[in-house]
Amino acid sequence: MAPQLAKNAATRLFTPEVVSGSTVDFQPVLQLLSIKKVLNLSNGSERYRLIYSDGEYHFQSMLTTVLNGYFASQAFTPKCIIRLTHYCTNTIQDKKFVFYTVSPVLNEFLPHWPSRILITLGIEKVDDHSEKVGNPISFNTSQLWPIKQLNIYSNEWKIRARITQKSDIRTWLDHRGEGKVFRVNLVDATGEILAMGYNEAVDNLYSKLEEGKVYIFSKARIRLAKQQFSKLSNVYEIILEAQSSAVLCEDNRAIPQVEFNFTKLSQFATSTVEKDTIVDVLGVITEVHPIDTITLKSTGKIVSKRDIIITDRSTNHVRITIWGKQAVTFQAEKNLIAAFKRVKVGNSGGRRLSLVSSSTVLFYPDIPEARDLNHWVSSEGCFDAFKPLTTDRMDVLMNPS
């Protein structure tokens, strides 16, 4: 059974009883979100700065130097679960909570557990005002941060990243007011991160950002990702605001298009890929069906859909369903090589895939797998030998998400 995080632990750790040491039996189970080695410039010593979460709030922790060697040798990674057994607490710099372990006996290590929804505390906004989206520039790469090094303590950072997916603008109206938001997935050579733009950022940036292009992003803030909305593995996300800047970058050769981890179509035939799994697939398009509309069973909403069929060297083929606006605007013909990132596995008369809000489609990607598949199609492909993995049945309706 997965361990349960200690509810309200982040608050209780800083109550007078715990701070004074009068409560010694409180040993909360927490999730380790971030590990960073920090250099003390005054004496050259190194310490570890950690961020823990109780599933709702998060706070900082500093490890005592006597534990550095022991900690560095352990398999502690972000998202693992730790039980705090020996500690003291303090408050430094107003809202910046700092937690100190004080015993050479390191806290109990528990198995990995999925990330929880977080409400961030004490995150400071970058207060800077400058250009929004500018003309293409060349940039001194020494001034740039890799995506994988961004965290909630990063200040005055700039990243060079490619937009791999751009959402529509979503609006909301509730008792707290109204607003609008859009999302873009960003990638560089070190990883991916989600960026979300709200209100003024929608007005300033949305129309100027294009999928596939590279920009220098700055003057934004970092927060812990809300895992119910982010489909990426990064525990952080970028918030674009009124002052945020995105400058088109002409020096983009070092930035990958999209990173893929392909599942072969033959794996769907053996049912080794479970329903609702998110996968990447590569194939040659053999059929593009006309656009259709259906009524969702869950909401009664009428949505557009389009089915396409792809195959690969295994000669198995799989149906992929495209939903909503993407179904209307999708333009592709038979025999095109297409890579699909982050599609959802369903089951309707056999294996069926579906595009979701975070999915990306790339035609003829410049990667070895696509070149190999293109060579097979040109020289050996035989479109009458395909082995269907899906049928025309629609007994189970997959809702777009």
Q: Tally Cβ neighbours within 10 Å of residue 41.
A: 7
- Taking the chain (401 residues) in consecutive chunks of 10 residues, what is each chunk's mean pLDDT? 71 68 66 77 72 78 66 64 72 53 44 39 31 46 79 88 89 88 90 93 94 92 80 88 92 73 86 83 93 88 92 90 86 86 75 83 84 83 49 31 40
Q: Any idea where the domains of the chain sit in the sequence?
A: 9-110, 141-248, 266-388
Contact predicate 126/156, CB 8 Å: yes
* 3-state secondary structure labels for all residues of 70-98: HHHCCCCCCCCEEECCCCEEEECCCCCEE
Helix, strand, coil distribution of the chain in percent, nearest 5: 15, 40, 50
Q: What would the two tokens of residue 167 be? A: 């959402």
Sign of the alpha-carbon dihedral angle for 226, 232, 233, 236: negative
DSSP 9: H
Fold match between 9-110 and 141-248? yes
Antiparallel, parallel or unpaired: β 170-174 and 97-101: unpaired
Among 2.40.50.140, 2.60.120.260, 3.90.550.10, 1.10.1740.10, what is the CATH number of 141-248? 2.40.50.140
pLDDT of residue 175: 83
CA distances from 116 to 107, 229, 253, 344 (A): 21, 11, 36, 21
pLDDT of residue 171: 92
Class of domain 9-110: mainly beta
CA distances from 238 to 62, 76, 258 (A): 25, 25, 19
pLDDT of residue 14: 72
CA distances from 35 to 11, 32, 51, 281, 292 (A): 21, 8, 7, 33, 49
CA 124 – CA 145 distance, rounded (Å):
19
CA 201 – CA 218 distance, rounded (Å):
13
The yes/no answer on whether domain 266-388 falls in CATH 2.60.120.260 is: no
Label residue 176 exposed, middle or buried (CB < 10 Å: 0-12, 13-18, 19+): exposed
CA distances from 263 to 57, 129, 280, 325, 331 (A): 36, 45, 6, 26, 24
